[in-house]
Homo-oligomer: A and B are copies of this chain.
């Protein structure tokens, strides 16, 4: 079972920039296409003062930094050229808050950004879904409210477009007091209950538990997601969480273990955070190129040479 989707991490905060321009991105999308990627997911349209496109809403409300180029337009254009589905990641005012906001203000800002994006890009043929950008692992009323109410807003604007979330397991690589499998399951049973009808797809991050515990967690996630009428994908992280610095490309063997565990759990689709830094032949991490080659070898893919 191959990875057929990837995040695009271009409002990055903890991943050093590749510093690609449109030529490199054009080449990248061809590489993505050549190995079977059909879905790209913008991690977020903006975060704090940084924004991926010239947003009048955010400039007015947040005093954004200047926007160098319209990355949403670029990614939509390249998605169209390569016949891919583009998921638009919403604005994150929570994670790196530039000032205190009330819950209502978070929601108002999130909705205003979604409205603006839909007006600007909603007619583009590659605009195929929404990614609700708030990552959540345990009970967190602010994030859960953002997911629910902003997800609801997306569904009202575009009833046919799916909404995607990518939560995490509160495991030993995420928190000091790791959750047990049964507490994880009961906690997420409740949270997914609150997200029914506004979230269509759940792609848990797979990097926060040890490799030998991952199959059981993936199995539990898959069952929970089905029970709530959603589709299960797996976010097979391609960076290594076990190294002395954050983050190099992952060891191929770990990626393989995680892909096998995800396939066994019965998910519909594998996506990754994220190809361009950690698996791409043109990544700034040379080990990513070798990870790409191991991945292609494994699946018998004959990669197109980069021009």
* A residues at B contact (CB < 8 Å): 12-21, 24, 49-50, 63, 65-66, 68, 211-212, 240, 242-253, 256-257, 260, 283-287, 290-291, 293-294, 297
Closest residue of chain B to A67 (Cβ to Cβ) is B253
A247: which B residues are within 8 A, CB to CB?
244
A245: which B residues are within 8 A, CB to CB?
244-246
Copy count, this protein chain = 3
A256: which B residues are within 8 A, CB to CB?
66, 68
What's the least CB distance linking A180 to chain B, in Å?
Answer: 17
Q: Are B68 and A252 in contact (CB under 8 A)?
A: yes
Q: Are B212 and A251 in contact (CB under 8 A)?
A: no
Q: How far is the CA of A14 from the CA of B245 in the complex (A)?
A: 9
The 6 A-B pairs of least Cβ separation, nearest first, read A16-B248, A19-B290, A17-B251, A284-B287, A244-B246, A245-B245
Q: Are B14 and A244 in contact (CB under 8 A)?
A: yes
A246: which B residues are within 8 A, CB to CB?
244-245
Closest residue of chain B to A239 (Cβ to Cβ) is B16
What's the least CB distance linking A218 to chain B, in Å?
Answer: 15
Q: Are A249 and B63 in contact (CB under 8 A)?
A: no
A284: which B residues are within 8 A, CB to CB?
248, 285-287, 290
What's the least CB distance linking A204 to chain B, in Å?
Answer: 20
Q: Are A17 and B252 in contact (CB under 8 A)?
A: yes
What's the least CB distance linking A176 to chain B, in Å?
Answer: 18
What's the least CB distance linking A251 to chain B, in Å?
Answer: 4
A18: which B residues are within 8 A, CB to CB?
287, 290
Q: Are A249 and B19 in contact (CB under 8 A)?
A: yes
